[in-house]
Structure 1
Amino acid sequence: MSTPVDKSQAGIGARQYHIGIAPGEVSSVALLPGDPFRVPFVAEFLTDVKEVAHNREHRTMTGWYKGRHITATSTGMGCPSTAIAVEELARVGVTSFIRVGSSGALQPGIAPGDLLVSEGSFRNDGTTDAYLPKGFPAVPDLALTASLDRNARRIAEAAGTQSFTGISVSDDAFYAETPEWIGELNRMGILNVEMEASAMYIVARLRGLRAGMVCACSSNLVDGTSLYDHANTALKDGWMRSIEAALETAVELEL
């Protein structure tokens, strides 16, 4: 009689099926943008840059920042591909994860390009339900998040913009977010909405890893300030500030 595959052991010590990376090819800390075309934005801060792999939505580059070896891997959109990226990166040696992405603000007064540091994620996704029951919280590493907050505030202030902290929500269905749902999230005091953090937090907790998130605001969904109505420069500037905050945190905590 055949034995079912144990996926918890699949790929250990080998080149990973989805991300295309083998042990020894990456560092202990990874920045996780969603878009593979934003991985080169991370590389702009690095020296001795190498492109390690690009398979499906997962593009990986490595380099050095202030003496720290840094990896950047794109997760793609949503919790399913993010969970795969975190699982496989952990199997090749990554122990700390910092998501740097775009996010829609849900509270007034937040402008495109402002920074958003997550203190936890409302799990409005399906992927994390396969890992743990809904009552289990999706929370980032405390020390990592505190460092992200400090660095984000400093960098935003120097740029004449703002940085905010609060609870985020990870949604699965971008175009199913109705005005009623956005209003409900606003009334709950949720700071921002994105699509990946809950999976990163849950997988990291289960695997004994560290994770945190700093995003750039792309739109304000309650003020009606949309990325589609603004030049892309504000958002790209925000991405670059979020990347700098993540890199400074990696150095500060020696990740």
Structure 2
Amino acid sequence: MAIKQSELILNPDGSIYHLNLKPENIAKDIIFVGDQDRVDKVTQYFDTIEFTTQKREFKTTTGSYKGKRITVISTGIGPDNIDIVLNELDAIVNINLKTREPKKKLTALNIIRIGTSGSLQKNIPVDSFLVSTHALDLNGMLHSYQIETHSNSEISRAYAKHTNWSPKKAAPLVIENSQTLEEKLSSEIIYKGMTATAGGFYGPQGRVLRLALQDEDLNRKMDSFLYNGIQITNLEMETSAIYGLCKLLGHHACSLNAIIANRASGTFSEDYGKVVDNLIKYTLEKLVA
């Protein structure tokens, strides 16, 4: 059955509504960055550029690095933007945009996030790299979908109990990454851990300016959470949404984080731009290895 125009919105040229993309514009290996200016910081290392477009904060460039076709997309900030980007990318490859019908043969994309993040643990220093083995969803966006079968309920319940999680908030979810991508992107210099994904930058991440927090001790509780060797290592705003939607849609996902702050020690990188650039080069080399 054809999907209604109100549900699958296309531009006059037939491209998907927000991303302004058609199937031929993207590769199967896709790098997500938050900042639209960071797209060029990745693609500056490409050998060739075949396509680029931008609509709102969503900038996309496709080209090749050492012979491998790669797409880089800026998602903007937060799980709500990830909801747009991943649903539209999946529609591009798994729905016939002309007939508006889902394809019988589905395509699995490889989604690699290159992001910045703050460490919650003193032993994960500023300027290091971290791969998110799990993502702890604290923002609730994924509850709009039938996500429960893809969540690790034991870790989720343990976290809720440990933090005395408020029932007024969305229930926590824990989603694992793609083991295949993790193995491809790992090395001896990579830290590993569970990344918490908040729905905001200030209160949801425990920052206080002029507003009191619902739970002023939440970050301390997160720091001390440990389940069968898994601890919460860092806090950001995208990874759980990426992992959850990719599990639901049948894509592979792995998040790489440049640690530019350490919340436990109160330190911040002296040159975070260089750290991000080093992570970009590391990721590109791993993708072609």
Q: Normalising by structure 2, what TM-score?
A: 0.74
Q: Indicate if the aligned counterparts of 1:182 and 1:222 stay in contact, CA closer than 8 A.
A: no
Count matched residues. Answer: 234
Partner of residue 159, structure 1: none
Q: Match of 2:121, as an amino acid?
A: Q
Partner of residue 89, structure 1: 89
Partner of residue 184, structure 1: 221
Q: Match of 1:210, as an amino acid?
A: H
Distance (whole Å) between structure 2 residues aligned to residue 131 and residue 204 of structure 1: 12
Q: Cα RMSD (Å) of the superposition?
A: 2.3
Deviation (angstroms), 1:215: 0.9
Of 194, 200, 209, which residue of structure 1 is paired with 2:236?
194
Deviation (angstroms), 1:6: 7.2
Partner of residue 167, structure 1: 194
Confirm whether residue 225 of structure 1 aligns to residue 252 of structure 2. Answer: no
- Within 5 Å, give how 1:45-194 maps onto structure 2: 45-50=45-50, 52-93=52-93, 95-133=109-147, 136-137=150-151, 138-150=175-187, 153=188, 156=189, 163-176=190-203, 177-178=205-206, 180-188=217-225, 189-194=231-236
Matched-pair identity in %: 27
Deviations 1:195-235 (A, max 9, x none): 10111111111111111011101210111113xxx43x2x2
Partner of residue 160, structure 1: none
Deviation (angstroms), 1:82: 1.1
Structure 2 vs 1, CA of residues 54 and 166 (structure 1 numbering), >3 Å: closer, same or farther?
same
Deviation (angstroms), 1:168: 0.7
* SS of residue in 2 equivalent to 1:218: strand
Q: Match of 1:183, as an amino acid?
A: R
Deviations 1:111-159 (A, max 9, x none): 3221010001011112111123557422211010121112xx3xx5xxx
Q: Match of 1:197, as an amino acid?
A: T
Q: Match of 1:69, as an amino acid?
A: R
**Which consecutive unaligned segments of at least 5 residues does structure 1 have?**
157-162
* SS of residue in 2 equivalent to 1:143: helix
* SS of residue in 2 equivalent to 1:92: helix
- Within 5 Å, give how 1:236-247 maps onto structure 2: 236-247=273-284
* SS of residue in 2 equivalent to 1:191: strand
Distance (whole Å) between structure 1 residues aligned to residue 122 and residue 77 of structure 2: 25
Distance (whole Å) between structure 2 residues aligned to residue 4 and residue 71 of structure 1: 28
Structure 2 vs 1, CA of residues 129 and 28 (structure 1 numbering), >3 Å: closer, same or farther?
same
Q: Which has the higher helix share?
A: 1
Q: Match of 1:240, as an amino acid?
A: D
Structure 2 vs 1, CA of residues 127 and 45 (structure 1 numbering), >3 Å: closer, same or farther?
same
Q: Match of 2:83, as an amino acid?
A: A
Distance (whole Å) between structure 2 residues aligned to residue 245 and residue 208 of structure 1: 26
Q: Match of 1:166, as an amino acid?
A: G
Deviation (angstroms), 1:182: 1.7
* SS of residue in 1 equivalent to 2:27: coil
Distance (whole Å) between structure 2 residues aligned to residue 50 and residue 4 of structure 1: 32
**Which consecutive unaligned segments of at least 5 residues does structure 2 have?**
94-107, 152-174, 207-215, 226-230
